[in-house]
A and B are shown apart, each in its own frame.
Chain A
Amino acid sequence: MIGRTSVRILSRCVKLLTTGKQHVISQKVRSFSCTPSVWDDERNKQTGKDASEYREHYENPFLKTLGVMKDDVKGFLKNIKNMGQEEEDATPAKIFSEHCDVLIIGGGAIGSSIAYHLKERALGGLHIVVIEKDPTYSKCSTTLSVGGVRQQFSIGENVQLSLFGAEFLRNVPKLLAVEGADPPNIDFNPNGYLTLATEAGMDQLYENHYLQKELGAKVDLLSRRQLEERFPWMQFEDIAGGVIGRENEGWFDPWSFLHCLKRKAVDLGVEYITGKVVGFNTRKMDDLVIEDHESTIVKNVDTAKVRLENGDEREIKCSIAILASGAWSGEIGKLIGIGIGPGLLSTPIPVEHRKRYVYCFRTEQGPQLDCPLVINPNGTYFRREGVGGLYFCGRSPTEEQEPKVGDMEVDHDFFMEHVWPILAERTPSFEALKVQSAWAGHYDYNTFDQNGIIGIHPAISNLFIATGFSGHGIQQAAGVGRAVMERILHSEYMTVDLSRFGFERIIMNQPLFEKNIV
């Protein structure tokens, strides 16, 4: 009798020590997870699970204790064995960070810039993890952009952000230098932007120009005669005037910029994880109530579920989450609950993909070194690329002409019908050209007012949103990174006050439009 009881107690103890975790989720933690969108999934369809680059995840504490020490010893022995050799062994050595201080979702220019600025200031004080689903950045807006930087905006904060962006670009060789690696080179061509205006748009041009000069941009207003004198290879029949940037405007190589930012961030200690965020767990902050209504109880992002390359799903707990996923921000916002919850959470993030084409053509007698990035009043633009007679051009389509975003195919008819005639009219030497190549990229298009959304979400108190730049994200990446860093570390915007760009303007329906020149 005593023997049987003691055996029962013993077997209960053993079962307790070695069983796996029971999945009971308490009411405090609710998980929102949606199936990922279809067009995104080709990369993540795995036929079989490959070996993970991360160590195994144990649940039971006893097994965790034994397993973790066993894996540690194995990893140590493997390192000794592989000293100097490159061998692929079965025992993975990297530990998956299950906790971090700042989680940045999206590793493009904005995400990497935020990571760089935060880590540069915080150094060892913050553990920063960036989740990027495509390390080749094949569909990222950053790498497919034309890479221009200009101060010719009509909103003061945009001008200031771009001014800092240009200054940052000039200092890249010093700031982003990594010891032991090639010096950073982003091919900054400071040739300026030339914004042209017809008679109808001159008032707006004056107004914008005045604001830009006030904020310190080095821009010049040119009359039609001055334009004809300065750019004899263009014709300005329908133009009344233009603004050209003397300094701090031009173009650079966005892929190289992203690469340098990422390299420096990794060198400082930021961890980049290749994986796709497929869900979030949020946590209700019971004691924080904004209004006296259940639907506006403040939430916090607790953990993010990440699907790794080999199909494993892991969770990362974070203190602050930063949504910098560009064109995918609307979808990821829905995963968190923005757009499907009640009250303040019912407004979705109005960012979606918009396809834009960039065409590269060659011509014999085209403009040489004095060619700026010319923007016509109807939005068609072109710029010089290199010194061999190559040019980039493109045009933002109207609402009716918006292409479908299902693929990355280029519509050459659009060039023939809508871009080439305008180019040829402006620059006679472009009448004879040969299209070398073209590509399609996606804007993280803010359907609300085409300006960036930067700020903390009012109902999710630890979620930063930094997205929706609608085509001018690459030039503002440095400024936005610095602004988010100031907001987190100093609790206020210190250099450029971006309070007007917060998510609140979308909930309160107060758009912040750029006044475009016609």
Chain B
Amino acid sequence: MLNFVLGSLFLTLGCGSWFGVQLGMIVLFMLFLLCCKHDFYMSLLSYGFGSDWLSYVLILLSFWIMLLVLMSSQAILDKNNFNKVFVMTCCFLNFFLVMTFASTDLLLFYISFEASLIPTLILILGWGYQPERIGAGIYMLFYTLTASLPLLVSLMVLYNCGGSLTMGLVYEAMNSSFIYKIWYLASVFAFIVKLPMFMFHLWLPKAHVEAPVAGSMILAGVLLKLGGYGLLRIVPLFSNVNSKLCWVWVSISLVGGVLVSLMCLRQIDIKALIAYSSVAHMGMVLCGATIFNWWGVNGAVVVMVGHGLCSSGLFFMINMVYERLSSRSLLISKGLLNIMPTMAMWWFLLCAGNMAAPPTLNLLGEVQLIISIMNWSFINIVGIGLLSFFSATYTLYLFSISQHGKFYNGVFSCCSGKVREYLILMLHWLPLNLMFMVGSMMLIVF
């Protein structure tokens, strides 16, 4: 495992060659793909690192998305907008992400969890466009930082009680008295905000909208999954309290998911629409992860991977529109079918992924989550039904309002896409649609 972690760290040295770093990402991805040995609890054990089925999938996702991020930020290379610094920032972010997912020690996990915020902040503030990105960066930084301070305290208490923070050997708090409830809330709050859950989601639309394409893709693709991953690691330590308190998270996520889906229908900025849809998807993931039954946990992981690919693809498509039209507003960038018909096909395929149409991974995950959530309580039918319905509504709205209609300018010719763009879209879409055939790979193997 250390070879992959150090490999991703030393990839920063190759920042002079954009192509070299992309190649390095692919190589690391392929090599890591070969290490699929999760028939025991942890494999690839090393100094503080290891990987089990959950981290395996997410490390693969982070290498993949980072590769796509580098390919899609070609505009920074073309305009020579500090491209070396950019590659370095992305590689550092990748390093911290891999370290987060690969760490077997909860404190190392926490440190790299926090450390991944800094390159993200630099990406947003350094390469973002609008003046609102200052507020966006501050919101993201302080929401996540404030929420994770109680987690640090809780880790210290866990260490004090149990003597170790290595995953698998951590003290499991079995009681469910009041103080244990506070302890549980302190531990879980950081991931609730990171996921994000409905009432603490304000940082997400701001950060996603104001970030450059690289920032948006990596935020939607991997950084939100940090919350899910942390939740799946911490919740088993507090299983008693969790089974008593998970109704809070389930109710807020379901109701909040429906509300956020309705807000999607009101957006004028395309990126804000996708950002709010991320909140809705992650709400479902949160439900599954806190209910913590078998279907729920698996559904959460599958939706995390599927959403990572799908949202990242949609953000990339919006960036393609932005690179051509210099505007994200739906009032100007509508009627795209007239000027980019081939891209309309890709818009459709990725939108179909977003609304969990077959044969995408999102469908597999959503079905698993529906089973899990309904199994827990029958009343959830209302919530999860409305959530699924509205997710189709806003996705269709997004597709229709961006593609159909007239374009303001009467140029009788079409923009074709560039081959690089088709490659990136294919690399988003192919895993999303083929991996459901190997869906069993993502289930917990006991």
Report A's interface with B, CB cutoff 8 A: 9, 13, 16-17, 21-22, 24, 26, 28-29, 59-62, 64-65, 68-69, 72, 95-99, 101, 122, 124-127, 285, 287-290, 298, 300, 302, 317-320, 456, 461-462, 487-492
Interface size for chain B: under 10, 10 to 19, 20 to 34, or 35 or more residues?
35 or more
Q: A16-B85, A69-B134, A302-B326 are in contact. Are A319 and B125 (CB under 8 A)?
A: no
Contacting pair B331 A62 (CB below 8 A): no
Contacting pair A491 B335 (CB below 8 A): yes
Contacting pair B122 A61 (CB below 8 A): yes
Contacting pair A99 B130 (CB below 8 A): yes
Contacting pair A101 B332 (CB below 8 A): yes
24 contacts between A and B (CB under 8 A): A13-B88, A16-B85, A16-B88, A60-B126, A61-B85, A62-B85, A62-B126, A69-B138, A72-B138, A97-B131, A98-B131, A99-B326, A101-B329, A122-B268, A122-B329, A287-B416, A288-B413, A298-B413, A302-B326, A317-B129, A320-B332, A320-B408, A489-B408, A491-B405
Pick the contact of A491 from B121, B129, B407 — CB < 8 Å? B407
Contacting pair B326 A491 (CB below 8 A): no
Contacting pair B415 A26 (CB below 8 A): no
Q: Which residues of B contact A17 (CB under 8 A)?
A: 85
Q: A26-B80, A101-B327, A124-B268 are in contact. Are A319 and B121 (CB under 8 A)?
A: no
Tell yes or no: B181 within 8 A of A by CB. no
Tell yes or no: B412 within 8 A of A by CB. yes
Tell yes or no: B127 within 8 A of A by CB. yes
Contacting pair B331 A489 (CB below 8 A): yes
Q: A16-B88, A69-B134, A126-B329 are in contact. Are A290 and B414 (CB under 8 A)?
A: no
Interface centre among A65, A302, A488 (most CB of B within 10 A): A65
Closest to A502 in B: B410
Pick the contact of B330 from A96, A125, A127 — CB < 8 Å? A125
Contacting pair B324 A61 (CB below 8 A): no
Contacting pair A288 B129 (CB below 8 A): no
B388 → chain A closest CB, angstroms? 28
Closest to B123 in A: A61
Q: Which residues of B contact A287 (CB under 8 A)?
A: 414-416
Q: A16-B85, A16-B88, A72-B134 are in contact. Are A126 and B411 (CB under 8 A)?
A: no
Tell yes or no: B19 within 8 A of A by CB. no
Tell yes or no: B389 within 8 A of A by CB. no
Pick the contact of A462 from B86, B269, B331, B409 — CB < 8 Å? B409
Pick the contact of A65 from B126, B130, B409 — CB < 8 Å? B126
B337 → chain A closest CB, angstroms? 13
Q: Ordered nearest first, which 5 A-B pairs have the shortest CB separation?
A: A61-B126, A319-B327, A491-B406, A125-B268, A95-B131
Closest to A13 in B: B88
Contacting pair B125 A68 (CB below 8 A): yes
Tell yes or no: B79 within 8 A of A by CB. yes
Q: Which residues of A contact B86 (CB under 8 A)?
A: 61
A466 → chain B closest CB, angstroms? 14
Q: A61-B125, A125-B329 are in contact. Are A285 and B324 (CB under 8 A)?
A: yes
Closest to B13 in A: A9
B325 → chain A closest CB, angstroms? 6
A417 CA / B324 CA spacing, docked (Å):
58
Contacting pair A29 B79 (CB below 8 A): yes
Q: A99-B130, A318-B326 are in contact. Are A289 and B85 (CB under 8 A)?
A: no
Contacting pair B85 A24 (CB below 8 A): no
A126 CA / B81 CA spacing, docked (Å):
26
Closest to A486 in B: B408
Pick the contact of B122 from A62, A288, A300 — CB < 8 Å? A62
Closest to A300 in B: B326
A316 CA / B125 CA spacing, docked (Å):
18
Contacting pair B326 A319 (CB below 8 A): yes
Q: Which residues of A contact B38 (CB under 8 A)?
A: none
Would you list which residues of chain B between 326 and 356 have a CB under 8 Å from chain A? 326-327, 329-332, 335
Tell yes or no: B41 within 8 A of A by CB. no
Contacting pair A61 B332 (CB below 8 A): no
